[in-house]
Chain A
Amino acid sequence: MTLTLALQLAIAGISVGSIYALVALAIVIPFKASGVLNFGQGEIVTFGAYAALVLTQLALPYPVVLIGVLLLGAMGGIVIERVLVRPIVKAPEFTLVIATFAIGLLIKGAISIHFGDSPNSIDGPFGSDPIVAAGLRFNPTSLWIFACTVLVTFGVIAFFRYTRLGKAMRAVSVNADAARLMGIRVERVYRWSWAISTAIGALAGLLVAPLIGINPEIGQLILRGLLGAVLGGFTSVGGAIVGGLAVGLIETFAGVLVGSTFKNLVPFLLLMALLVFRPQGLFGAAEIKRV
């Protein structure tokens, strides 16, 4: 493997890893806040991609599409939290896992029914002609994805550190009852944690659409996102991002080293190995509890 190839692969890995990182982030945020793992997050990404499709077909300029997708994603999250998650938030873990899983499949089913299964696509905001620099080829869409991921990461970190709602969210994730006693409206925090998470997930859908097309199966990449979240330890923004990027890199390099037959198996074998040997991932605490 030459250096150029390795670097090129690394670029590809980081660009696809950025998507996984966003998905992992979208999973970790409501998990930290309310202890609910949204197994339907993949379908939020699909939803985002189709929302982008619809808005683009309305001939709206890209920045408007972007904001539209974020808003629609956030609204979707608020609706889901209110209607489907709130009634069962106190239920046993089994119910929550199955319910969020089911919600995801519901979204996918609805999308399938409405749009059909045939693939669609939209263009990236900066075209698809590769940018050549330092002997390496960069896909402008990939650069844009990476830039967005970096922005979102810093945005989320700043949100948690400097805004009142962000600090309230951190308080709730540590001890919801104590937070309630301190006057924090915990239900409002849950609602916003979901809204933020689904907005990020929908954004990931918009971003990834030019790369892989738009079809109801996009949601499958939640598994990579989950792997990234597990790798990162489920407990921190940084962990989710690093985890997602790592998964992207591993997947890209595995594809070259292991061949296409087994390339798809690698993430899942890695997931199983992690769950068996180190479920807390790279950065998580050793004792794993539901909040």
Chain B
Amino acid sequence: MRPRIGSWLPILVIVALAAAASTLRSYPVYLLSLAMINIVAAVGLNLLTGNSGQISLCHSSFIAIGAYTSTLLTAKFGLPFWATIPCGAVAAAALGAVLGAPASRLRGIYLALATLGFLQIVQIAIEEFANVTGGVRGLIVAKPTIGGIRIGDYARFLVVLGCCAFAVWTARNLLASRVGRELDAVRQSPHAAQALGVSLQRVKLGAFALAAAYAGLAGGLQAIVVGFIDPVEFGVSAALRQITFIVVGGMGSVAGSIIGAAVLSGLPEVLRPVKEYSDVIYIAILLGFLIFMPHGLVTAWDAAKRRWRGLPQSPVAEAAR
């Protein structure tokens, strides 16, 4: 296979980010970390909604599950972050499967309602079991350590960068494989997929668990980066924000997840002078894209790539014009 510039680009970006972050002050590094955490979560949601076509209004709940699980395992059992964060992802995946079992049989508004119900159940559980979760007052997260020694902010950034790269890499691998094709097939033609031996139920349930795993990873990372878990971050507005990332970026592709999450992660910073309006602005952006650019920014990215390579435009781009 011919080596192309394209396959080196991700590595260049990662190295560049790592290098740049070592020179930046801690606040920009913090923002970059949050952006990468958003990318991890968006990648997961895109696999579920963009590829397998299942709407989910409770993605933020799995972020919560990852965050609380990893934090509590560290707090109660003294396990280090690099063990508890994967545990958080696994716990989230398990609950994703629990939701997925019934949810994968539902479509449209009924699926939306089921995920909304799940969101509420998780929110209520967080509030009611306050002696464990800290309830509405939130939970302080211990500083991450390796071998008992606190790791510095730059090291923490590298952890987040590594996890983000891992998440993006695995998602791309999956989409280029049998798994990815089945996710798309299940959405595009359930009849044909079944006629070819693909189990709708299994793929859809798997998609729920998979998306939850990414969200759980994002949650664990978010806990150690922010240092504090605030349950408000996992409510309905947060769920809608997750969806905004993939709508704005473009559904069904990893590039779309990256673009949407990266672009919109900068938004709260830009909006700081008008913080009270930030929710409203997010929603206006979401509505704008839903109406005028439903295929997301990634279509512009794709069009640019094709022009660069002298290829004909894709039918999706043409339809969107």
Direct contact of A and B (CB under 8 A): yes
Does B232 have its Cβ within 8 Å of any Cβ on chain A? no
Per the bound structure, the CA–CA distance linking A34 and B279 in Å amounts to 29
Chain A minimum-CB-distance residue to B277: A113
Does A165 have its Cβ within 8 Å of any Cβ on chain B? no
Q: Contacts A39-B112, A226-B113 given: A276-B240 contact, CB under 8 Å?
A: no
Contact yes or no, B290 A91, CB < 8 A: yes
Interface 0/1 of A15-51, CB less than 8 Å to B: 0000000000000000000000101000000000000
Nearest Cβ in chain B — how far from A47, in angstroms? 15
Contact yes or no, B110 A275, CB < 8 A: yes
Does A282 have its Cβ within 8 Å of any Cβ on chain B? no
Contact yes or no, B121 A268, CB < 8 A: yes
Interface 0/1 of B82-117, CB less than 8 Å to A: 000000000000000000001001111110111011
Chain B CB within 10 Å, residue with most, of A94, A230, A261: A94
Q: Count the A residues whose beta carbon is within 8 Å of the partner chain — how many?
A: 37
The stretch of A98-106, A123-131, A144-152, A246-254 in contact with B is A98-106
Contact yes or no, B120 A269, CB < 8 A: no
Contact yes or no, A94 B49, CB < 8 A: yes
Chain A residues contacting B113 (CB-CB under 8 Å) are 226, 230, 271, 275
Contact yes or no, B283 A113, CB < 8 A: no
Contact yes or no, B116 A223, CB < 8 A: yes
Contact yes or no, B287 A99, CB < 8 A: yes
Contact yes or no, A109 B286, CB < 8 A: no
Nearest Cβ in chain B — how far from A17, in angstroms? 19
Contact yes or no, B287 A84, CB < 8 A: yes
Contact yes or no, A105 B237, CB < 8 A: yes
Chain A residues contacting B118 (CB-CB under 8 Å) are 268, 272
Chain B minimum-CB-distance residue to A113: B276
Q: Contacts A39-B112, A268-B124 given: A106-B280 contact, CB under 8 Å?
A: yes
Nearest Cβ in chain B — how far from A199, in angstroms? 22
Per the bound structure, the CA–CA distance linking A105 and B244 in Å amounts to 13
Q: Contacts A87-B291, A106-B284, A113-B276 given: A101-B57 contact, CB under 8 Å?
A: yes
Chain B residues contacting A288 (CB-CB under 8 Å) are 110
Per the bound structure, the CA–CA distance linking A62 and B280 in Å amounts to 32
Contact yes or no, A93 B108, CB < 8 A: yes
Interface 0/1 of A175-202, CB less than 8 Å to B: 0000000000000000000000000000
Per the bound structure, the CA–CA distance linking A97 and B55 in Å amounts to 9
How many A-B residue pairs have C-beta atoms within 8 angstroms? Tell me.
103
Contact yes or no, A105 B240, CB < 8 A: yes
Contact yes or no, A109 B283, CB < 8 A: yes
Q: Contacts A39-B112, A113-B280 given: A265-B55 contact, CB under 8 Å?
A: no
Chain A CB within 10 Å, residue with most, of B116, B125, B247, B277: B116
Q: Specify which of A103, A105, A262, A268 is in contact with B236 (CB 8 Å cutoff).
A: A105
Does A4 have its Cβ within 8 Å of any Cβ on chain B? no
Chain B residues contacting A103 (CB-CB under 8 Å) are 283, 287
Per the bound structure, the CA–CA distance linking A243 and B57 in Å amounts to 24
Interface 0/1 of B46-65, CB less than 8 Å to A: 00010001010100000000
Chain B residues contacting A94 (CB-CB under 8 Å) are 49, 53, 55
Contact yes or no, A271 B280, CB < 8 A: no
Nearest Cβ in chain B — how far from A258, in angstroms? 12
Does B128 have its Cβ within 8 Å of any Cβ on chain A? yes
Chain B minimum-CB-distance residue to A260: B128
Contact yes or no, A268 B55, CB < 8 A: no
Contact yes or no, A97 B112, CB < 8 A: yes
Contact yes or no, A265 B109, CB < 8 A: no
Chain B residues contacting A112 (CB-CB under 8 Å) are 276
Within 8 A of B (CB), among A66-109: 84, 87-88, 91, 93-95, 97-99, 101-103, 105-106, 109
Per the bound structure, the CA–CA distance linking A84 and B202 in Å amounts to 36
Contact yes or no, B102 A276, CB < 8 A: yes
Per the bound structure, the CA–CA distance linking A182 and B116 in Å amounts to 39
Q: Specify which of A93, A99, A109, A290 is in contact with B290 (CB 8 Å cutoff).
A: A99
Per the bound structure, the CA–CA distance linking A143 and B193 in Å amounts to 55
Does A163 have its Cβ within 8 Å of any Cβ on chain B? no
Does A285 have its Cβ within 8 Å of any Cβ on chain B? no
Contact yes or no, B283 A102, CB < 8 A: yes
Chain B minimum-CB-distance residue to A230: B113
Q: Contacts A94-B49, A110-B280, A275-B114 given: A102-B121 contact, CB under 8 Å?
A: no
Nearest Cβ in chain A — how far from B212, in angstroms? 16
Per the bound structure, the CA–CA distance linking A102 and B242 in Å amounts to 12
Chain B minimum-CB-distance residue to A275: B114
Does A210 have its Cβ within 8 Å of any Cβ on chain B? no
Does A279 have its Cβ within 8 Å of any Cβ on chain B? yes
Per the bound structure, the CA–CA distance linking A279 and B120 in Å amounts to 19
Chain B minimum-CB-distance residue to A290: B108
Chain B residues contacting A226 (CB-CB under 8 Å) are 113, 116
Does B243 have its Cβ within 8 Å of any Cβ on chain A? yes
A-B CB contact pairs (8 Å), 23 listed: A37-B112, A88-B290, A88-B291, A97-B108, A98-B55, A99-B287, A99-B291, A101-B112, A102-B240, A103-B283, A105-B237, A105-B240, A113-B280, A230-B110, A265-B124, A268-B118, A268-B120, A268-B124, A271-B117, A272-B114, A276-B102, A279-B106, A288-B110
Given A37-B112, A94-B49, A99-B287, 13 new contacts (CB under 8 A): A88-B291, A93-B107, A98-B247, A105-B240, A105-B283, A113-B276, A268-B121, A268-B124, A272-B114, A272-B121, A275-B106, A275-B113, A279-B110
Q: Which 9 A-B pairs have the closest CB atoms?
A: A109-B280, A276-B102, A271-B117, A93-B108, A37-B109, A268-B117, A109-B279, A97-B112, A102-B283
